[in-house]
Each structure stands twice: as C-alpha cells, then as structure tokens.
Amino acid sequence: MKLLSGNSNLTLAKAIADYLDMPLTKASVRRFADEEIFVEIQENVRGEDVFVIQSTGYPANDNLMELLICIDALKRASARRITAVIPYFGYARQDRKPGPRTPISAKLVANMVTAAGADRVLSVDLHAGQIQGFFDIPTDNLFAAPVMSADLLARFSGRNLMVVSPDVGGVVRARALSKRLGNAPLAIVDKRREKPGESEVMNIIGDPAGRFCILVDDIVDSAGTLCNAAAALREAGAEDVVAYVSHGVLSGGAVARVEGSVLTELVVTDSILAPPAVAEAKKIRQLTIAPLLAEAIKRIADESSVSSLFD
C-alpha cells in the first residue's frame, strides 16, 4: 500500500500517513509557466495499492486537474489499484438539473475520475447520497457524524441539547447525529431561497426555547444560511447556538459573517485546508478527520468492512 498526496491539503495527507505509520510516496506535483500541471512519481508503484489524497476545493479546477493527472501518472506506472481519496468532493452541489439547459456537473466529474483510471473512490459526507451512483466504480461515502458526536459529548454533555437541520434536505443527516447524541430532539429550519447565495428563514419546525441548539450541515460556503438560522433560533428562545459542518468552504465574506453572527462557535472538519482567515477566526474551530480516513484506507487495503466503522 502507498499514499500519494496532491497539493490541495498536504496537512491532512501527512496526518493520515502519520496515523498509518507510513511515509507519503515521493512525487513532484508542479506547474509550468503557463500553469499546466505536471506530475512525476519518484518511487516504484508497480503492482501497488495506491491511495491518492486530494480534496477538490478552492481552486476547484486546479485541484481537480491535479487529481486526474496523479491518477493518470499512477495508471501509466502500472499501479495495481488506484483509490481516489477525495475528502471534499467539489461540484457535488451540481447533482441535478435545477432548470432547463443546465449541467449535472457532479456526474461529469465522476466520469472524469473514472476515465482517468481510478478503481475506487473514498469521500466524506457527499452533498447528496445519490452521487455514489454517478460513479461506475465502487464508492465509499464516509460520515463525519462520529467525529462530531464525540466532540459534542466531550464538551456539552449534560446540556439540554437539540439538533437542528438548517433546511429540509438535511433532516437525514441531523437525525443521524441526534441518534448518536442519545436521541436528542430535532428541529428543522424552513427557509425559502430567493436566489443562489441568499436565504430567508421562514419558520422553525420544533421548539428550541431553552435548548442548546446544534446546527448540522454538510457544507458551509457563504454562511448566510447558518447565520440566519442561528438568529432565528435565538429569537425563538434558544439558550445557545453552535454549528457543526463537515466541509468549511467559507468563501468570500463568510468568515466575517460568522464572526459577526449570534453563533457561539462554528466547527468544521479539516477536509479542506483552512486559509489563514479561518485559522485566525475566534469563532471557527477545526476537527480532524485524519483517523477516520486512515481507518477507512486501512480497511480498504485489508479488504475488510468499511461500514463497520459506523456501527
């Protein structure tokens, strides 16, 4: 087994390698003057089971091309099996046609990863579960819920907890976390989105009065939805509001928006490398998913059950 990392999240890749007590494969991933990406594997990988660790967050297109070229380089170097480990799968929000003459880009990206030569895909909290079906190769979708629930129980056990989904589509995710927190009560924020990047809270289904509310979601991008939901929960009598999100995209003015919101804290995983603004933010904290990914990689390499990680 070998681990190869692109440049998107070298910190996470090194943490996974440390957990597995093995080095990252020596490779050169660099750019020519015109920004073309060039990859050179500097170790023999013939007949090896290789895991390529590369999130496809900002800059999404550069990181995606890095992943594809790494896979192609390994394929041409006669690797026995190539698993694309994509902690954050970019383009996942484009998983359907929201209107006429629009693409389903998540399916296109799945086709590209398969065509490049990947034999398997490993990701964390895909935006929609059906994206697994976009791939024609085995795909494992890991859940960050065990990492989040362990952190929540360590810090807030004994509080009057309530798990809140910021939209109707995230109810399954919220229910899964609720179950891990001893079947904490559930609430849903019903919102109407007038246009992309903006959200308007309309109603809260459930009674958050006097509760310690935990907003849970898979992606935080502009943070408008989370901040609006937190404000609505506080207005409805919530004692406190924290947010736990799998992927901290946090683009544009998201960090400033979180810092100025009523949220006590936003907790994200390290599936995406934190830029300096996120690392320095007082209200934003990162949880590592390196042990979760490392255990899944170990089980795939050993041909043992990955799903048992969540039993």
**Annotation: binding site:** 34-36, 93-94, 127, 167, 193, 217, 221-225
For residue 1, the Cα-to-chain-centroid distance in whole angstroms is 24
Angstrom distance (rounded) from CA 87 to CA 142: 9
Contact 214, 242 (CB under 8 A): yes
Q: Taking Cα atoms as reference points, which of 87, 23, 94 lies closest to residue 269?
A: 87
Q: 269, 147 in Cβ contact below 8 A?
A: yes
Known binding-site residues for ATP equal: 34-36, 93-94
Answer whether 225's CB lies under 8 Å from 254's CB.
no
> Choosing from 2, 14, 191, 195, which is the catalytic residue?
191
8 A C-beta contact, residue 292 and residue 309: yes
Q: Among this protein's residues, is 191 annotated catalytic?
A: yes
- Catalytic residues, by residue number, are 191
